Every structure is written in C-alpha cells, then in structure tokens.
Amino acid sequence: MVTVDHIREQLLAGNNLKVIGSGENSAILPPHTGPELHLNQYSGILELSKPDQVFTVKAGTNLKTLNQELAEHNLMLPITETHGTIGGWLASGRPHWNEHLYGPLKDWVLGMKIMLTNGEVCKCGSQVVKNVAGYDIHRWLVGSRGVYALILEVTMKAYARQELPQPPQLVKEANLIHRCLPSNIETLTQAYQELPHALSPCRTTLFAKASEPFSSTRTESDWIMSPWEPLHGPRLQKAKQIFDPEAKLWSGGFA
C-alpha cells in the first residue's frame, strides 16, 4: 500500500523524476533516462455516486479495473482501450478511439488532487459537473506529462453503460499519433501507407507504429504526438519555473 506520505518523500528527494503508472502510455512520449516514481500501487476508487454519475479515483488505478468496477454500477468511462492507468492517460494526453462520440478525456475531468513539487497537496476544479470557480488547472494538466505536478486523484464524470466500438490492437501499440483537419485526411492516409496504421472513427486521427523516427507529410494545423516530436513554447518554460524550479520532475521533452 502506497501512501501520500510515501509519495511525498520520493518527490521531495527527487531529481528529474518521471511519474509512471503502468508505463504503457510512455511509448508515445519522449524517452526518459533517470529515476522513476511508480504510482501503480496508488490505486482504487475513493468515491462513486451513481445518481450523480461522478466518481473519484486514485491516479494509479488501472483503466481496465476502473471500467470493471464502474460496470458493476451500470456506468462506464467511455473509453474502450484497456491498457494503462487513468493518471497515465491524463498525463500523456493521448487521444482515445471514441472521441467522436464522447469527446476527449479532459472533458470528463471535473477536478483533481495534486501534489506540488514542494510536497503540498492541493485540489483544483470541483466534484460537480459544472463549475467556473477558479482557473481550470485540472484541464490544463491533462497532457502535461507529469512535468509540473503529480496527479494524485481525479474526479470524473461517468456515463451510462453502452456498447462501444473497439479499437484495433495496433492502437494500444501506437507510438505515433497524427491528427489533421478532417479535410486533409486523404493526404495523411496516403502518407502513412508504408507504416502499420489505423484511422480513428472520427476520421481525423491516425494511430501508427514506427520502429524508427518517421518523417511524415505535414498538413495545415496538424499535430503529431510521438517520442521524436519536440514541444516548444515560452509558456511551457514559464510554467516549469513556477511549478518546479528545482527540476524535481522530468522535462517531458519540452524545449
């Protein structure tokens, strides 16, 4: 059993630390050489209100376990992938297969409890489906790769259980995700002929598996999520200085 105190101890002593759930979503992120803080033992549903369709879960909870437990209440998180932990999915910001039906994961996140790099535990957002009190830090942290703070708990919306389309096996193994404007999808699909790939039902996103860096055709306003795709921007750095001045957590490949 991993406690918050135990996590705090590791974080405070940390240097270039990467927080890992199951590690299954790491293939999509830049490589990291350095110490790891494992959260997969920090797991379990803390609260679940069936009438409100809201639950709070520890970040290290396995997605498969989570959906099995929600199913007992006839609820679901509308994501059919079964690998990884909920914290890993949120930190990586990885798109899921059924976005065309239910939107991205960040739309289901209502609030978070996080640990700052000074060991302080804070909450942001709320436990209700509509809330405008304060800045939406919980949405900002989705996709932040565990660079600014450590996600301890997440409060999310659940949905009434339904049968959903299953992704092909390749989606789990994808290490290159390329999203474009719907009007450019034909061009993009052409460009990926040589790689094993799957086109998402929303017809904007290609999930591909590359054994070495792949230089893809680019289209207007598109983006690529892969270990070789650097992220730039002054705000990335500014936020790092504010949230983690001593670089206790890893850089996430933010340049």
Please, which residue, 6 or 238, has the CB nearer to another protein?
A: 238
Contact present, 67 and 85 (Cβ < 8 Å): no
Asked if 132 is part of the footprint of another protein (rule: CB under 8 A), the reply reads yes
The total number of residues shown for the chain amounts to 255
Residue from 2, 121, 164, 170 in contact with another protein (CB under 8 A): 121
Q: Which residues contact 29 (CB under 8 A, 6 or more apart)?
A: 92, 145, 227, 252, 253
Please, which residue, 217 or 223, has the CB nearer to another protein?
A: 223
Asked if 180 is part of the footprint of another protein (rule: CB under 8 A), the reply reads yes
Instruction: For residues 199 and 254, give the distance between their C-alpha atoms in angstroms, rounded to a whole number.
Output: 27
The CA dihedral of 210, 226, 252, 110, to the nearest 10 degrees, is -130
Asked if 215 is part of the footprint of another protein (rule: CB under 8 A), the reply reads no
Asked if 235 is part of the footprint of another protein (rule: CB under 8 A), the reply reads yes
| One character per residue 9-38, x = contact with another protein (rule: CB under 8 A) | ------------------------------
Asked if 165 is part of the footprint of another protein (rule: CB under 8 A), the reply reads no
Asked if 46 is part of the footprint of another protein (rule: CB under 8 A), the reply reads no
| One character per residue 74-93, x = contact with another protein (rule: CB under 8 A) | x------------------x
162-165, long-range: CB < 8 A, 24+ apart = 162/76, 162/78, 164/76, 164/78, 164/80, 164/98, 164/101, 165/80, 165/97, 165/98, 165/201
Residue from 65, 80, 82, 126 in contact with another protein (CB under 8 A): 126
CA distance to 10, 16, 36, 89, per residue, from 19 (Å): 10, 10, 6, 12
Longest Cα separation, the chain: 51
Please, which residue, 124 or 191, has the CB nearer to another protein?
A: 124
Asked if 164 is part of the footprint of another protein (rule: CB under 8 A), the reply reads no
Distance of CA 70 to the CA centre of its chain: 19
Asked if 116 is part of the footprint of another protein (rule: CB under 8 A), the reply reads yes
Asked if 181 is part of the footprint of another protein (rule: CB under 8 A), the reply reads yes
Determine what percent of the chain falls in helix, strand and coil, rounding each to the nearest 5: 25, 25, 50
Q: Output the smallest distance, CB 122 to another protein, in A.
A: 4
Residue appearing with tokens 């790689």: 195
Contact residues toward another protein (CB under 8 A) are 49-54, 74, 93, 95, 99, 103-104, 106-107, 114, 116, 120-124, 126-137, 139-145, 147-148, 159-162, 179-183, 204, 220-225, 229, 231, 233, 235-236, 238-239, 242-243, 254
